[in-house]
Structure 1
Amino acid sequence: MSIKYSIAGYCRISVDEEMDRDNTSIENQKAIIADFVKRKFPDSTLDFYEDRDRSGYTFEQREGYQELRKKMLRSEYDILIVKDFSRFSRRNSKGLVELEDLRDAGMRIISIGDNIDYPTYDDWTAIQFRFLINEMPVTDTSKKVKSVIKRRQEEGKWICAVPYGYVMINNKTMQFEVDEPAAEVVRDIFDRYNSGWGYKKIANYLTDKHIPTPRMCEKMRREAKGEECKREVKQTWSIITVSEILQNDFYIGTLRQGKYRRKKINGGEVKQDETDHIVFENNHTPIVDYKVFALAQEQLKKRTTSHYRGVKKYDNVYSGYLFCGDCGSPMFAMSRNDLAPAYTCGTYHKRGTKGCTSH
């Protein structure tokens, strides 16, 4: 008489179809696991968990696995079965640590394709070797992608996105053109700033005129094409958006690439020093005249040195906990040595009295 186990089958398909050409079907993985369970554990129960279009390099972004993991750590399952360890993880270090955590929680892990049943047969060396082999395609692909992007950047070809005022007309060939209605808004922002207006005043003006924000424009374009856009967008212009537009030399026809680099696979991006940027002047149709842009940069420097700009100097212990009782916006700490510790309404910070009061 066979023992009745509670078994979880985990299946994953990667974003990279070329890397996953031997495992392109979630259904195929399920069939292999189900057949294995039917033969080896005929009286046991089997539940499936899956992740589609998810990288094997991290665990955090896999919703299916995260749900399964909680249950395994609560001992709701006895055995975890995967088609092979490449479905479980393609990162050597994290994959091995995760495997040990599951083992310590009392889980038995079976990889059908690798012929491993851990810790029933504790062949840790074989497991390490499999994980090392599985990680190699990911790191190799990452190097190749970085190399291709770097070469295209140096040739002045790689453009992953265009700023507000331009629109991409062909994503494959990276062709873009001026979006004239938005371009007029960009010119207006520069003109008003050069005439003495500040970020907040310009943002309030654009909001009051019901001019769509950059993200609103993007959402409307996608919906006009019949594409679904679940991303939430705000109807109010922000100070940061106005500031970024005023500092972007893309508007004078300059293509500046390599501004960021990724430290590690699936990691965050860090800013590069300006000396490391790849710059092509007169690369495309400008929206703003060079003299207008240069004047704006002079104004930016003058106002930055002559006016206070918030710098965090003190511990803001209540940040993230306080919200405005009227508009619901998060409260911002006032980091100034001439004021007692205090917090102000976030909407007021962005829009002034047109949005809320300081409280």
Structure 2
Amino acid sequence: MIFSYVRTSVWKENKVTMEMQLEAIQQKADELGLSQVLKKNQYEDRGISGGKFEERPGLQNLLMRLMDKSNKGGTLIVYRFNRLSRNSNDLLKILEVLNKNKIELISVMEPLPSGSKISLQTMMVNIYGVIAQFERDMTIENVISGLERKRREGKPLTSSVPYGYRYSEVRLVPIEKELKIIRLIYDLYLTEKMGYKKICNELNGKGYRYMGREFLETDIYRFLNNKVYFGVFKGGTVGGEYRGTHSTIVSEEEYLRVQEIKNHVELVKRVIEIIGCVKKFFVPYVITILPLEE
């Protein structure tokens, strides 16, 4: 019985699609005079890193199927060995399952010596696995290095930008019309003492729109909690917060003042909720257990 396994990773550059992998696998099967790879014997994991062995349902289901005694002596074809795993230890575990169940492993792009013993095949596959893991580690190191460089230069780590800016040449470029709205939101909150709902009514009443719709209270909450507006980015996996070089719209003092007011408002709301609960549940209970005067 012929099986196939294909996987695409989270990386988009130079990606060999699943369809391309399947086509190459079937061509390889034809060259070897093997039967067609049936749909039910095709396993896949889309957009999952090769380092996440246990988190790939397609691979796990394939291994469970191959461990079935009825499939002993079959063939598994992959596009590259690193499609199975980029971790050499995990690759050895997979090989152990295949060898134990006499499943022949074939790679389209990495041929093994024909007629070679299992020990030699294991060594060759392991070498390919070590190379794949090295490539993966180098890719991760390059990504982290790039993020650290952006951090040192005060640039955003991602192309995801908040309202009021656009992403251009690895920098945040202000959109003046939108930043004026952000400035107005902070002024309404700090100076006019307006809450989220009143701010929404004020903005929507003046005809301002957010992404083609009216402003919502959740939008105001996000804007008032975003440190990018006073020049600070989140560091993510490469460190803590850091200062950006983009134009700011509010000062750090204003941002901290907003947080102070928000915390005070939340505390007052919580106290009111507690008092309400006491009145609703505790007071009636006390009345019922107190002795009544005759």
**TM-score grouping bracket, smaller chain normalisation:** 0.5 to 0.7
Label 1:193 to 1:60 Cα distance change in 2 as closer, same or farther (>3 A): farther
**Residues 118-157 of structure 1: matches in 2 within 5 Å?**
121=118, 124=122, 126-157=124-155
Is contact 2:45–2:58 with CA below 8 Å preserved after alignment? no
Is contact 1:11–1:26 with CA below 8 Å preserved after alignment? yes
Is contact 2:112–2:124 with CA below 8 Å preserved after alignment? no
Structure 2 distance, partners of 1:9, 1:60, is 18
Amino acid at match of 1:278: Y
SS of aligned partner of 1:141: helix
Amino acid at match of 2:194: W
Choose from 179, 182, 185 the match for 1:186: 182
Is contact 2:54–2:60 with CA below 8 Å preserved after alignment? no
Aligned position for 1:322: none
SS of aligned partner of 1:45: coil
Question: Shift of residue 135 of structure 1?
Answer: 0.9
Where in structure 2 are there 5+ consecutive unaligned residues? 279-294
Label 1:109 to 1:183 Cα distance change in 2 as closer, same or farther (>3 A): farther
Label 1:26 to 1:291 Cα distance change in 2 as closer, same or farther (>3 A): closer
Q: Is 1:115 aligned with 2:112?
A: yes
Larger % of helix: which?
A: 2
Choose from 158, 177, 188 the match for 2:173: 177
Q: Deviation per CA, 1:280-303, whole angstroms, max 9, x where unpaired?
A: 4xx333334666545423323433
Question: Shift of residue 158 of structure 1?
Answer: 4.0
Structure 1 distance, partners of 2:181, 2:54, is 40
Structure 2 distance, partners of 1:291, 1:17, is 43
Aligned position for 2:52: 58
Q: Is 1:237 aligned with 2:216?
A: yes
Amino acid at match of 1:182: E
Aligned position for 1:352: none
Where in structure 1 are there 5+ consecutive unaligned residues? 221-233, 263-271, 310-333, 341-359
Q: Deviation per CA, 1:208-266, whole angstroms, max 9, x where unpaired?
A: 988654xxx2xx7xxxxxxxxxxxxx977353x433321323223x2x2353217xxxx
Choose from 228, 240, 244 the match for 1:250: 228
Q: Deviation per CA, 1:106-149, whole angstroms, max 9, x where unpaired?
A: 582513325289xx936655544432321111111111221122
Question: Shift of residue 150 of structure 1?
Answer: 0.6
Aligned position for 1:162: 161
Aligned position for 2:194: 197
Structure with the bigger RCO (C-alpha within 8 Å, sep 6+) is 2
Label 1:298 to 1:52 Cα distance change in 2 as closer, same or farther (>3 A): closer
What is the TM-score of this pair, normalised by structure 2? 0.64
What is the TM-score of this pair, normalised by structure 1? 0.55
Structure 2 distance, partners of 1:143, 1:299, is 42
Amino acid at match of 1:277: E
Structure 1 distance, partners of 2:4, 2:237, is 37
Label 1:247 to 1:38 Cα distance change in 2 as closer, same or farther (>3 A): closer
Amino acid at match of 1:300: K
Structure 2 distance, partners of 1:284, 1:308, is 37
Aligned-pair identity (%): 25
User: If you compute each CA radius of gyration, which structure gives the higher value, 1 or 2?
Assistant: 2
Q: Is 1:302 aligned with 2:280?
A: no
Q: Is 1:73 aligned with 2:64?
A: yes
Question: May I ask how many residue pairs the two structures share in their alignment?
Answer: 261
Label 1:56 to 1:207 Cα distance change in 2 as closer, same or farther (>3 A): farther
Label 1:68 to 1:89 Cα distance change in 2 as closer, same or farther (>3 A): closer
